[in-house]
Structure 1
Amino acid sequence: MAGPPRATPLTPGSWRIAVIGCAVLLLAACSAAPLSSTPSPEDPAPAVGECHVLDRPEHFAVLSDTSPTVECGAEHTTETYMIGDLASVTRFSGRYPALEERLDISEQACSGSVVRAYVGANDRQALYGLSSMAFLPTPEQWATGERWVRCDLVMVGSETEAFWPVGVESAFRDAAASGNADPLLRCYTGDADVRCSEPHTSRDINMWIPQTSEPSELEIVQQCVPAATEWGTLTGRTVEGVSGVLHTESNGGLTLRCVVTEDADVAQ
């Protein structure tokens, strides 16, 4: 999970992706007109598994969302994977939060471990391009005492560029456990991160090991072989090669990301 936004369910069958034509910076203190729909306090609370189409900048310039739900098999951009509680946010003071507090709320009320369980990811699957975004009750609902946090998954086009929501036509729930998981998974072309549904040369096996110095090729293999063996067991696929991608963190630290190659990867 990466980038300013945070945000998952694929079902077997079609998994089509279309980038929605808008760039949104989640934490920007942008001003936008309120959305046209104004809910009443009686509007139902959100539920896990509901999907929405949020494809305009103003959708992300407010903390609440009153858009109607859509079928997750139809094109959508967000899917609710858990309902959190504002009481779990340590900075919450009882007042209605400000837009710039969305990231803190998402980090504390929307669990990353729940994301992995929701999409059905096993220990050796590294997720790519999924963000978790928090939505709160409207001011009207707030006035009636509602304090839930709607935690939605959003697929983004890139983890390193401006936030672009991606339209999908399959549910995220248990997607990583399906036969069409690659759009959710992290692969590499050389040392560049890409979605596994795109051409790639190696596959991340979700074993990231901090390093104190640059390891030799032998040391990389020694550190990564146990995870690669587990990956082969979990997937039933043959490991053609074991290696690693060295990644420099924002704090200057060095991380070894273990990867495998297989016939299907080389063919791409």
Structure 2
Amino acid sequence: MILDMKIRKKFAFILSIALPIITTSHIPNANAAAKPMPKVGSCYNLTKADVAADYSDIAPINCLKEHSAETYRVVKLKANDLAVNYDLKKAITVCAPWKGRSKFLNYWAWYIPNPEQQKAGQNWIRCDGMITQNYDEATGDYTAVTTWKGKRLDFR
């Protein structure tokens, strides 16, 4: 009987340590999937490399702080119209009608959910406007993204 009680206590102790580890280790990257859909008016501090990326996992920041991009459109796509299948031509149809007619912003970029968010069922396109330095319309190239404080969106 005493041996049986010692085994039970040992088992309960091991279970109290192992159970939290076991139950949380099987949750597939809950933080990545739990990120909310982006919102119009959000501000981001993006570098030139961030602008060129397919996904933007950078969190929005307060627009009163230095930032280099503002979201002017977010479109939730239909289930049969996957964001992962979008190319520049299709993205233009979503991010238009802005055609560069802003007295502040001269460039735009688009982002889709990262693979973890896609697995969680997120399906959207985020359109950001920004100010670039030395933008060349012929090549679409620029040297850097400018930062500023406060809202600059003057189009919707």
TM bin, normalised by shorter chain, reads 0.5 to 0.7
| CA shift in 2, pair 1:61/1:155, >3 Å | closer
Structure 2 counterpart of 1:69: 60
- 1:112, CA displacement in angstroms? 2.6
Matched, 1:165 2:140: no
- 1:114, CA displacement in angstroms? 8.9
Q: Distance in 2 between matches of 1:115 and 1:129?
A: 7
- 1:86, CA displacement in angstroms? 4.4
Match of 1:108 among 83, 87, 93: 93
Structure 2 counterpart of 1:50: 42
Match of 2:126 among 150, 158, 162: 150
Contact kept in structure 2, 1:50 and 1:72, CA below 8 Å: yes
Match of 1:135 among 111, 120, 138: 111
- 1:173, CA displacement in angstroms? 3.1
Q: Percent identity?
A: 22
Structure 1 counterpart of 2:13: none
| CA shift in 2, pair 1:133/1:44, >3 Å | same
- 1:104, CA displacement in angstroms? 2.3
Q: Distance in 2 between matches of 1:114 and 1:128?
A: 13
State the superposition RMSD in angstroms: 3.0
Aligned residues: 121
Q: If each structure's strand is expressed as a fraction of its own residues, which one has the higher value?
A: 1
Structure 1 residue runs of 5 or longer lacking an equivalent are 1-37, 117-125, 176-268
| CA deviation vs aligned residue, 1:218-262 (integer Å, no higher than 9, x gap) | xxxxxxxxxxxxxxxxxxxxxxxxxxxxxxxxxxxxxxxxxxxxx
SS in 1 for 2:116: helix
Match of 2:71 among 64, 70, 80: 80
| CA shift in 2, pair 1:97/1:39, >3 Å | farther
| CA shift in 2, pair 1:48/1:66, >3 Å | same
| CA shift in 2, pair 1:71/1:135, >3 Å | same
Give 2:46's aligned amino acid. L
Give 2:84's aligned amino acid. Y
Structure 2 residue runs of 5 or longer lacking an equivalent are 1-29
Contact kept in structure 1, 2:105 and 2:152, CA below 8 Å: no
Q: Greater Rg, structure 1 or structure 2? A: 2
Q: Distance in 2 between matches of 1:95 and 1:171?
A: 27
The two structures have a TM-score, normalised by structure 2, of 0.63
